Chain A
């Protein structure tokens, strides 16, 4: 009862059957899942979505699996927080935070893509799952792969934050720390994926995997009362999440759930790894690869596979791109925590700091609704704040000492 029509090359349009493949044999363009939207339009209604459990599978007609989901039964449906205090700080009228810091089970939006990838891997009959990761993906594949009973291989750059490595190791997958940057990890994994018959979620399962990101967009629309925001700010590593959030909005429009769609899509990057923001600002069609150097390690992809498509979405929707320094990232992480009680990882700092710049430069207008996609939990990158947060007041257990401090703090 799948609504999937097949795979289609994004460059030349050739169609392929549903298989674990990811590039077009003719032009080497990336493959994308296409659906039968007429049937979905006839079958999927707001009432039907509402009647289902609050997880990402409530939009299953728009996801590329045939049978029932196999993992991720509690993933998705994270809060959309109306952020009035933060709105005031940054100077917009109506601001929302899509809070994927609390995604089940590993506290980043990667749980969405992995839920779909592993459910599809099971359908394809794979017993081993693998990924190349900047950290969050490794974490989710380790956890959800364990829950699904898969053999697991995760490949990460050896320089990753220690806490992220431990987070993956807890689930006892095979963790391979590669001495090189993410793009080098990738190349190695592509070779491995060619040789071993594993489900590499972001290589041969990638067309299906990437579709999972759309669920963040569907939820935003549902939580805004079946409306699309005026602005959405999305952090970019490979650029996939941004293109998929836009795809999700377009699909909701296509199937008639959204009556209007005029959202502007904005890309957020760290200055230490800004190939997409640079292409947007300089209006070139070529994404020039960079060597990443930023504390936002989960976004440190120097040669972003979907960069060109992300840039196109930004241009076609009238959005823009911004990039921010490490200090701006840290300041934004603290601002988000202080004003809204949300502790995000560095990627969240990138998104908020970029949004602040976009508002300052007038690219995002004060009027209208703005949604900021905060995609990972701060506990995952605690190291980033070391030396940037205050020390606790340290006292002997006596009232007098406490009141001494209280006097210093004042009101």
Chain B
């Protein structure tokens, strides 16, 4: 199963290997499509592929670390 997400990193986590750690821990294949990363800003749009339950756990774990996780499909205009 695939899920498209947009991640927003707090400044303290920008230099950490967050994606790699998540991928290993939850057996997920990340596919980064777009990123905007500077010293103060970390924004990443990616597709995650894995078991549905693992995806849920991975997203939960990212949120718990203080990363804002938004589904890309949530990007809707009013």
Contact = CB atoms under 8 A, between A and B. Distances in A.
Interface of A: 11-12, 23, 26-30, 132-134, 137, 182-183, 186-187, 189-191, 194, 202-203, 206, 209-210, 237-238, 240, 284-286, 288-289, 298, 301, 303, 305-306
A306 B75 CA distance: 8
B68 A288 contact: yes
B73 to A, nearest CB: 3
A30 B40 contact: no
Contacts of A284: 40-41
Given A27-B33, A190-B74, 18 more contacts: A28-B72, A30-B75, A137-B78, A182-B78, A186-B74, A186-B76, A206-B76, A206-B77, A209-B77, A238-B76, A284-B40, A285-B41, A285-B43, A286-B41, A289-B8, A289-B70, A305-B75, A306-B77
Interface of B: 4, 8, 33-34, 36, 38, 40-43, 45, 47, 68, 70-78
B73 A11 contact: no
Nearest to A306: B77
Contact of A289 (B33, B34, B68, B78): B68
B78 A132 contact: yes
Residue from A28, A132, A284, A303 whose CB has the most chain B CB atoms within 10 Å = A28
Nearest to A300: B78
Nearest to A301: B78
A194 B73 contact: yes
23 contacts: A12-B34, A23-B72, A28-B4, A28-B33, A28-B47, A28-B72, A134-B78, A182-B78, A186-B74, A187-B71, A190-B71, A190-B73, A190-B76, A202-B76, A202-B77, A202-B78, A238-B76, A238-B78, A285-B38, A288-B68, A298-B78, A303-B75, A305-B77
A272 B68 CA distance: 19
Contacts of B47: 28
B78 A133 contact: yes
A285 B36 contact: yes
Nearest to B8: A286
Contacts of A206: 76-77
B34 A11 contact: yes
Contacts of B70: 289, 303
A182 B74 CA distance: 10
A203 B76 contact: yes
A183 B4 CA distance: 16
A30 B73 CA distance: 11
Residue from B33, B36, B76 whose CB has the most chain A CB atoms within 10 Å = B76
Given A284-B40, A285-B38, A28 B45 contact: yes
Nearest to A25: B33
B52 to A, nearest CB: 14
A214 B78 CA distance: 15
Given A28-B4, A286-B43, A288-B68, A210 B73 contact: no
